[in-house]
Amino acid sequence: MIALIQRVSRASVSVDGETVGACGRGYLVLLGVAETDEESDIARLGDKLLKLRIFCDENGKMNRSILDVGGEALVVSQFTLMANYSHGNRPEFFAAAHPEKAERFYEAFVAHLRRSLSHVGTGSFGAHMEVSLTNDGPVTIVLDSNRLKKKD
């Protein structure tokens, strides 16, 4: 699983002009699921996201987690994070999980975050979405569950 995390002041996602999800101060999370991902990747990636210290403390140092600041999240499915762009100029997405698996992992990831955060908004899985955000910093981090496995 890959999560592109953007620290935001606010973010929202719309489908056909109607807002379907939003969050205040916290994270916009674009989440991609690979066909090779395992159930254990959900908690591994979710726990890292919750503990990641990228909010500033009283000294302006990135030393606080989303839990420490009472932040919110907006999670949007993003299969294009699985793009293979090594051959030519048109990316292919064969590594992306089939929609049934991807949606199941996406929903489980959202549920994992909801156990710890007061608010977790979502997009509409599989829909064409428009995402708006105010990036805070900007701070953007890529988390990859495969890279986290090497630490276990």
CATH code of 9's domain: 3.50.80.10
- Which of these is catalytic: 19, 36, 80, 140? 80
- The per-residue pLDDT of the chain, averaged, comes to 96
- Which of these is catalytic: 79, 105, 109, 122? 79
For the question of residue 78 being annotated catalytic, the response is yes
For the question of residue 36 being annotated catalytic, the response is no
Q: In which domain, by residue range, is 30 found? A: 2-149
For the question of residue 122 being annotated catalytic, the response is no
pLDDT tens-digit series, residues 31-60: 999 999 999 999 999 999 999 999 999 999
- Which of these is catalytic: 78, 105, 109, 122? 78
Regarding beta strands 2-15 and 130-144, do their DSSP bridges make them parallel or antiparallel, or are they unpaired?
antiparallel
Is the per-residue pLDDT at 152 higher than 70? no
CB 52 within 8 A of CB 66: yes
**What's the average model confidence in pLDDT over 19-36?**
98
- Distances in Å between the alpha carbon of 142 and those of 3, 88, 100, 130, 145? 6, 24, 24, 21, 10
pLDDT tens-digit series, residues 71-107: 999 999 999 999 999 999 999 999 999 999 999 999 9
Distance between first and last Cα of the chain: 16
**Residue 145 class from Cβ within 10 Å (0-12 exposed, 13-18 middle, 19+ buried)?**
buried
Find residue 46's DSSP bridge partners.
Answer: none
Tally of domains within the chain: 1
